[in-house]
Amino acid sequence: MSERVFINDVGPRDGLQNQPRILQPAQRLGLIESLLDAGLKHIEAGAFVSPKAVPAMAGAAELFAALPDRDDVTFTALIPNMKGYELATAAGARSVCMVLYASEGMAQANVRMSRAEADAAGAAIVERARQEGVRVTSTVSVAFECPFDGPADPGLVADMVARFADLGSDEVCVADTIGAANPVQVRRLMGALVDAHGAERLSCHFHDTRAMGVANVFAAVEAGIRKFDASIGRLGGCPFAPGASGNVATEDVNMMLSQAGFDTGIDARKLQVAARVAEELTGNAPGGRARAWLERNLEVAA
């Protein structure tokens, strides 16, 4: 049997948060349903953040209340602080993703906290989530490069991963928020992290700004990582990280992994249909790098 690799589609959150066209919760739910139809079992469905800071994520409570009751699917809520944790869990979220920062500049730009303040908020959230039986991912953002402060310190990233793994995070995600990493760096960092902590609780999040997203996923696979964030239709980009473009496309990651002999549990054809849904809704989804080939090969009607 082929080995399983998990893809967490962050399109409904990372993908939509920076779109010029703001979608209503019911439209975002439509995108999520198309992902479920394609077999995705992990979906970052929205963010409990200030609607003034990120208008595209407004109505997250309404969206979470409307999510289908699926025991086999993990719907995650992104949160920036304890208030986000409280709002998310009150809306029924059973899985949260808290963001940490490998730079001062990004912490200030994103949440107006220092790096240390965000770490402290994260630690308090992990503790509370464990008490309340809520699944928690700690994401180390700008883990390779920060748009304000430049290259990240791999030693600092390793310390943050160790701390949040020790605190009992269910998952620690290493994120290339602006898509600046290269595969050699990824293999080195993720190799060291897998040696230190095992691969079970680690995951990676890549953006495809420089067309190295799939290469970076593969470098992490070679290091032992078996869980990745990706975004349908290559939607994405952080409003507070200048120069960040879309996440690596779920379609590209799925194609590469499937062709390389891994089992993703995803229906490639239905995934292309979901990419069409993303494009229709936003008018702004570039699609995977392999879009033309995939559409022809899978005979997705125009």
Q: Give me the active site residues, please.
A: 238
**Selected range binding ligand COA among 34-42, 46-54, 207-215, 217-225, rule: CB under 6 A:** 46-54
Kindly tell me which of 52 and 296 has the beta carbon lying closer to ligand COA: 52
Any contact of residue 50 with ligand COA (CB under 6 A)?
Answer: yes
Query: How far apart are alpha carbons 32 and 199 in whole angstroms?
Result: 27
Min dist. Cβ of residue 10 to ligand COA (A): 10
Applying the rule CB under 5 A, the residues between 14 and 33 that interact with Zn ion are 14
Kindly tell me which of 139 and 169 has the beta carbon lying closer to Zn ion: 139
Query: How far apart are alpha carbons 172 and 127 in whole angstroms?
Result: 14
Applying the rule CB under 6 A, the residues between 69 and 108 that interact with ligand COA are 78, 80-81, 83-84, 87, 99
For 267, other C-beta atoms within 10 Å of its C-beta total 16
Choose from ligand COA, Zn ion, none: what does 53 bind? Cβ within 5-8 Å by kind: ligand COA
Applying the rule CB under 6 A, the residues between 194 and 253 that interact with ligand COA are 238, 240
Contact indicator for 67, 75 with CB cutoff of 8 Å: yes
Choose from ligand COA, Zn ion, none: what does 146 bind? Cβ within 5-8 Å by kind: none
Strands 145-146 and 150-151: antiparallel
Min dist. Cβ of residue 85 to ligand COA (A): 8
- Report helix, strand or coil for 127: helix
Alpha-carbon distances of 136 from 87, 95, 173, 277, rounded to whole Å: 15, 6, 11, 29
**E strands within the chain?**
6-9, 42-47, 74-79, 95-101, 135-141, 145-146, 150-151, 171-176, 202-206, 227-230
Q: Whose CA is closest to 65, among 34, 36, 33, 89?
A: 89
Strands 74-79 and 95-101: parallel
One-letter amino acid at 297 equals N
Choose from ligand COA, Zn ion, none: what does 70 bind? Cβ within 5-8 Å by kind: none
- Candidates 40, 111, 129, 281: give the one binding ligand COA (CB under 6 A): 111
Locus of tokens 């995934």: 271
Any contact of residue 10 with ligand COA (CB under 6 A)?
Answer: no
| 6, β-bridge pairs | 227
Contact indicator for 240, 109 with CB cutoff of 8 Å: yes
Strands 227-230 and 171-176: unpaired
Choose from Zn ion, ligand COA, none: what does 112 bind? Cβ within 5-8 Å by kind: ligand COA
- Candidates 47, 102, 248, 266: give the one binding ligand COA (CB under 6 A): 47
Kindly tell me which of 4 and 83 has the beta carbon lying closer to ligand COA: 83
Choose from Zn ion, ligand COA, none: what does 49 bind? Cβ within 5-8 Å by kind: ligand COA
Min dist. Cβ of residue 98 to ligand COA (A): 10
Kindly tell me which of 78 and 204 has the beta carbon lying closer to ligand COA: 78
- Candidates 16, 32, 34, 48: give the one binding ligand COA (CB under 6 A): 48
Any contact of residue 53 with ligand COA (CB under 6 A)?
Answer: yes
| CA pseudo-torsion sign 232, 290, 176, 210 | negative
Footprint of Zn ion (CB under 5 A): 14
Footprint of ligand COA (CB under 6 A): 17, 47-50, 53-54, 78, 80-81, 83-84, 87, 99, 110-112, 238, 240
